[in-house]
A and B are shown apart, each in its own frame.
Chain A
Amino acid sequence: MSIIQSASNFVKNIGSGIMSYFRLTPRLAKLIGLEIFVFGTFIAICVVISEGIMRIPDSPKPGLNFLFASLKVGISLLLIGLWLGVWYYLTKRLMKNDRQENKEKEENE
């Protein structure tokens, strides 16, 4: 086999490999949507922390300052925890919904 033929086969293989990835992508729409949602909500939480919680001023009194700092960390961690909780819930729900859809489809058949 000539070098040109080998090179052309190589390019063809790469091309068909990429095409197979594109063919599979539509069936992953829901999962990709969930990924983007998880990312978007995380960014939103960061903005809320940055523009809201971090604006709570420091206090000159050490005791009060400690309380404020704990409050800032506490609320931020709570938001992150909430984010993880929503992520967990949506993943579970998405998976259950798909299972349900599948069961209904099977019964109809």
Chain B
Amino acid sequence: MAPTIAPIVIYILSFFTPFIITLVGLPLHIRLMHKRGIIGVDIHKEEKPKVAERGGIVILISIVLSSVLMIILVNDPELRLSIGIFCITVTIAGLIGLADDIFNLSALLKPFLLLFASIPIIASKRYKSKPILPFIGETRLTIAYIVLLPFIIAVPANSVNMLDVFNGSMATTTIIVLIAILFSNLIIFGNGLDPLNDAGLSDSGLTYIFILILVGTILAFWIFNKYPAKVFGGDTGSLAIGGALGAIAVMGRLEVVVIIAMIPFIMNAFGIIGSVKGLLERREMARPTKMTKDWKIESTRDRKAPITLVGLVIQKEPLHEKDVVKTFNILTIVSAILAIVIAVLTNLSGVVS
């Protein structure tokens, strides 16, 4: 039998392994993309720099390799299976993103395919059909939960993808969401750093591993994606991260917390879907923004353009790209605080057995 590794060591490795993999992998990826000519133009800057694309591939590799390492290190077959299922779910979402990056999938096909990312979770029964609500506690939604489960993965994946429009916007906002989930998990399930020895989905230790893997990966990605970006994540990155958030919601039994923490993402998705009356690809829609002479972002005032969160924050006056990202961060900080309040209310109600 393999020796048991202290949970704290596993948590430290959960953060630093993906951080280092992404930190080392991205410069190589950037060089390779420039060499192969897989580059995009950053239209929000005067000098129109050419930026390496598909950085999400490194994000995906980092999550997969870190998950494999955790599977090797944890000593419990149930935990190993859960980490494996998390890894497969994220991989499916990321590969759909990669297919979109390469073949430009239609706006309907992409969310439809994402519904299948939940199959590993359903097949391996790595969920509990009893979501926890404040004041109410565990609810029994046996059949309804299975019907809703594919959407709990697909909706976050698509909404993260829709907000990945500026340098560093996806990275900073998802890190804020993940921090909120981390604290909420600690508040609702407690247990701190020790429950890694027991199997079961409500063990907070498992959720910490997922969160730390993601934070490590995204933090290293942010270093290269922050203003002025050297790499774009593409759909591979945003769908993998969004899918991972959905998987954490289901496997960590934090569905409500994740929904509340992601209010700005969902609001943005609502705005786009509502204004263009359905699902359309970014390239099929009129542009909602244009650049001013001093290279600030302003609204195009095009009635056919989708109504987005960006459009709302630049309605009064144009803003610099960095400031637009800051406004996204402010909105996500507010929703993150509200998510933590939900966790506190759930805990105070004494509804978690």
Contact = CB atoms under 8 A, between A and B. Distances in A.
A54 B133 CA distance: 13
B331 A32 contact: yes
B335 A21 contact: no
B175 to A, nearest CB: 15
A30 to B, nearest CB: 8
A27 B141 contact: no
Contact of A28 (B135, B139, B311, B327): B327
* Highest count of chain A CB atoms <10 Å: which of B141, B263, B264, B309: B263
Interface in B122-180: 133-136, 139-141, 144
Q: Chain A: interface secondary structure?
A: helix
A35 B263 contact: yes
Given A88-B270, A99-B315, A73 B331 contact: no
Interface string A35-62: 1101100110011011100100000000
A84 to B, nearest CB: 9
A46 B267 contact: no
A25 interface: yes
A49 B136 contact: yes
A50 B329 contact: no
B307 A95 contact: yes
Q: Chain B: interface secondary structure?
A: helix
B274 interface: yes
Contact of A25 (B134, B144, B330): B330
B270 A87 contact: yes
A41 to B, nearest CB: 12
Contacts of B46: none
Interface in B289-316: 299, 301, 307, 309, 311-313, 315-316
Given A20-B326, A35-B338, A76-B139, A92 B275 contact: yes
B316 to A, nearest CB: 6
* Highest count of chain B CB atoms <10 Å: which of A38, A88, A91, A95: A95
B134 A46 contact: yes
A7 interface: no
B315 A20 contact: no
B345 interface: yes
Given A46-B135, A99-B315, 15 more contacts: A20-B323, A24-B330, A31-B309, A39-B260, A43-B342, A43-B345, A49-B135, A50-B135, A51-B135, A92-B271, A95-B274, A95-B312, A98-B311, A101-B315, A102-B299
Interface of B: 133-136, 139-141, 144, 256, 260, 263-264, 266-267, 270-271, 274-275, 299, 301, 307, 309, 311-313, 315-316, 323, 326-327, 329-331, 334-335, 338, 341-342, 345
5 contacts: A20-B326, A38-B263, A43-B134, A92-B270, A103-B301
